[in-house]
Amino acid sequence: MKKIRKLGILTGGGDCPGLNAVIRAVVHTAQREFDLEVCGILDGYAGLIHNHVRKLELTDVSGILPRGGTILGTSNRDNPFRYADDWRGVRKVYHDVSAQAMKTIESNGIDVLLSVGGDGTQSIAQQFHEKYHLPVIGIPKTIDNDLNGTDVTFGFDTALTIATTAIDKLHSTAESHHRIMVIEVMGRYAGWIALESGLAGGGDVILIPEIPFVIDSVCEKINDRARKGKRFSLVVVAEGARAEGGQLVVARQVQDACDPIRLGGIAAQVGNQIEDMTGIESRYTILGHVQRGGSPTPFDRILATRFGYHAVTAAVNREFGCLVGLRGSEIKTTPIKEAVAEPRRVNPESDLVKTALAVGTCLGK
């Protein structure tokens, strides 16, 4: 059995607060607890393709705990199993360059790969594990909170805090101008950010992907508030929400990305419909990438640090092909294959949904 001497770590997919906390925890744990070396792979899987790797020392991770983003860089476009490295006319040509990526692993003496990312990043790690028997450990990261194998992903709490703060600020302008404010938040096809920020921020209407909405029901809620003297309303809508029988609102489609569909624009659609149907002035705000930025919350710093420690421990214990995750109050492992099999979405019958309904929130039905 080959002795583990060196770990490689990469951050893939969209950035989010807490990535640097993971990197810091991995380097400290590897060196202090197990006397292991750590290599940082730059810009996600692009670093494996192009052999952009650097050694990480304790000095490299000093002071990065409160910083947003990732000191290693990231990418959500460079899949070694489907990589576009040239053009023929106007059509990209894709190649499997995973063998080239494996040469980077071998030439740098990396024994175990730690992949920090969401479903796309972990799916690629699983492919390396299956095709090349590469020892991999997954660390769940996404503001969307839509990855199985963990009760919560790091990055979500910070995004939730940012969204809630924005809703609080929009409350005063909605009330002052007697208008409807429609706030669009991220989350892709899961409604966690919308539901929890809407609940925390006192949203009158919350629209999530898991519960297709009826615009008439939304307008009836707003009109009912107006009849009772409430001359404003807050509508929180997830970017992946859609009307019953309707389609997703897509901003654009992009080749080469793990998720080629870029959602966006549902807030404008909903806001315009509300104004047309109620006669009440409506404005919309898209929070966008501000939800990914800034310093991580204490919760995310601690969770990311715990994930980093347990990922190194799992590597030393040879629990390859697994994802570390929070289950209750403990960190446990789940096979990556199971974690990425389907997204973790809001259950319409969950306690959280029932709570929202009980306090008078309209969910579009």
Q: Would the CA dihedral through 325, 15, 168, 358 be positive or negative? A: negative
Q: At what angle do helices 266-278 and 215-227 cross, to 10 degrees?
A: 50
Helix (H) or strand (E) holding 48: helix 45-50
CB atoms within 10 A of CB 121: 30
Backbone φ and ψ of 35, nearest 5°: 55, 45
d(CA 210, CA 244): 11
Q: Would the CA dihedral through 126, 128, 134, 139 be positive or negative? A: negative
d(CA 186, CA 192): 9
Backbone φ and ψ of 81, nearest 5°: -85, -10
With left for phi above 0 and alpha for psi between -120 and 50, is residue 26 left, alpha or beta?
A: alpha
Burial 31-61 (b: 16+ CB within 10 A, else e): beeeebbbbbbbbbbbbbbeeebeebeeebb
What is the distance of C-alpha 207 from the center of its chain? 19
Rounded-to-10 torsion of CA 308, 313, 315, 318: -150
Backbone φ and ψ of 146, nearest 5°: -105, 20
Q: Which of 313, 305, 328, 296 is nearest to 152 (CA)?
A: 328
Catalytic residue annotation: 144
The answer to whether the CB of 44 falls within 8 A of the CB of 13 is yes
d(CA 208, CA 248): 12
